[in-house]
């Protein structure tokens, strides 16, 4: 029974603990000072528990699979020149973007297994993250992951209208397994994935994606068919 409750209620990531502590303490204080504000803070506390949740994911681990780096809505697939700081060249690449609203889980995960060959932060604006121009204008943090199959995949965390803090937990040179946690964005944002030429995209615009679980593309040269091996992450 206890295990079932734990599975149904994912833990809160440590990034959320300070926010919950402050909000919870203020809520308790206002029970005695101004009860109406207690209810407002209690609702805010509940939302933060949802926002900072960190559920376990079942990650497909077959080589060549590209999984979603974020929970959220898949935006229209585009062919664009990747951000220059990624060093992926000046040719257009396929970009899959995942938009996270303020109720989505905001833990970001690596879409592929590989080595982090580059991390590049760029300051910028805070336009609404569901706008296409947010990929170019907004504050962002980009990673290039050299996949085990020999292809480079770009992953860009992009701040949004409300998001004012991009957090990256990995570093250059780190070896990552598919679906490993690499960071988060507070609060409401998007993550772009730039795929090497010849990749097969299987995600579609409007689809709901789950970080670490939803297959969004297959890298060039990979010949795969389900069922795939998986790992709890």
**Which residues span the domain enclosing 100?**
59-218
Residues 145 and 92 in one domain: yes
Q: What's residue 206's pLDDT?
A: 95
- pLDDT score of 2 more than 60: no
Q: What's residue 88's pLDDT?
A: 95
The total number of structural domains that make up the chain: 2
Query: Is 76 within the bounds of a domain?
Result: yes
What does pTM read for this prediction? 0.87
For range 160-167, the mean pLDDT? 70
Residues 46 and 96 in one domain: no
- pLDDT score of 4 more than 80: no
Query: Is 226 within the bounds of a domain?
Result: no
Residues 121 and 28 in one domain: no
Per cent of the chain over pLDDT 70 is 90
Residues 66 and 145 in one domain: yes
Residues 106 and 204 in one domain: yes
Query: Is 232 within the bounds of a domain?
Result: no
- For the chain, what is the HEC assignment? CHHHHHHHCCCECHHHHHHHHHHHHHHHHHHHHCHHHHHHHHHHHHHHHHHCECCCCEEECCCCEEECCCCEEECCCEEECCCHHHCCCCCCEEEEEEEECCCCCCEEECCCCEEEEEEEEECCECCCCCCCCHHHHECEEEEEEEECCCCEEEEEEEECCCCCEEEECCCCCCEECCCCEEEEEECCEEEEEEECCCCEECCCCCCEECCCCCEEEECCCCCCCCCCCEEEC
pLDDT winner (highest mean) among 16-20, 47-51, 203-207: 203-207
Name the active-site residue from 189, 199, 204, 225.
189
To the nearest whole number, what is the mean pLDDT of the chain?
A: 87
Q: Is 97 a catalytic residue?
A: no
The CATH number covering residue 72 comes to 2.70.70.10
| 134-153 pLDDT tens trace | 677 788 999 999 997 789 99
């Amino acid at each position: 029974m206890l295990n079932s409750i734990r599975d149904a209620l994912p833990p809160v990531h440590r990034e959320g603990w300070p926010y919950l502590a402050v909000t919870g303490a203020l809520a308790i204080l206002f029970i005695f000072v101004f009860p109406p504000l207690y209810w407002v803070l209690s609702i805010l506390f509940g939302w933060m528990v949802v926002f900072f949740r960190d559920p376990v994911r079942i990650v497909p681990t077959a080589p060549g699979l590209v999984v979603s780096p974020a929970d959220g809505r898949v935006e229209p697939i585009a062919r664009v020149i990747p951000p220059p700081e990624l060093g992926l060249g000046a040719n257009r690449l396929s970009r899959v973007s995942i938009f996270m609203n303020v109720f989505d889980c905001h833990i970001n995960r690596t879409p592929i297994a590989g080595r982090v060959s580059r991390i590049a932060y760029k300051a910028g604006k805070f336009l609404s993250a569901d706008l296409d121009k947010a990929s170019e204008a907004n504050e962002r943090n980009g990673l290039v992951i050299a996949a085990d199959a020999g292809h480079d995949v770009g992953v860009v965390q992009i701040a949004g209208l409300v998001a004012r803090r991009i957090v990256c937990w990995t570093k250059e040179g780190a070896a990552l397994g598919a679906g490993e946690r690499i960071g988060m964005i507070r609060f409401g944002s998007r993550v772009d994935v730039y795929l090497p030429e010849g990749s097969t995209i299987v995600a579609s615009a409007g689809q709901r994606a789950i970080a670490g679980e939803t297959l969004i593309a297959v890298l060039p040269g990979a010949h795969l068919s389900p069922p795939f091996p998986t790992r709890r992450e």
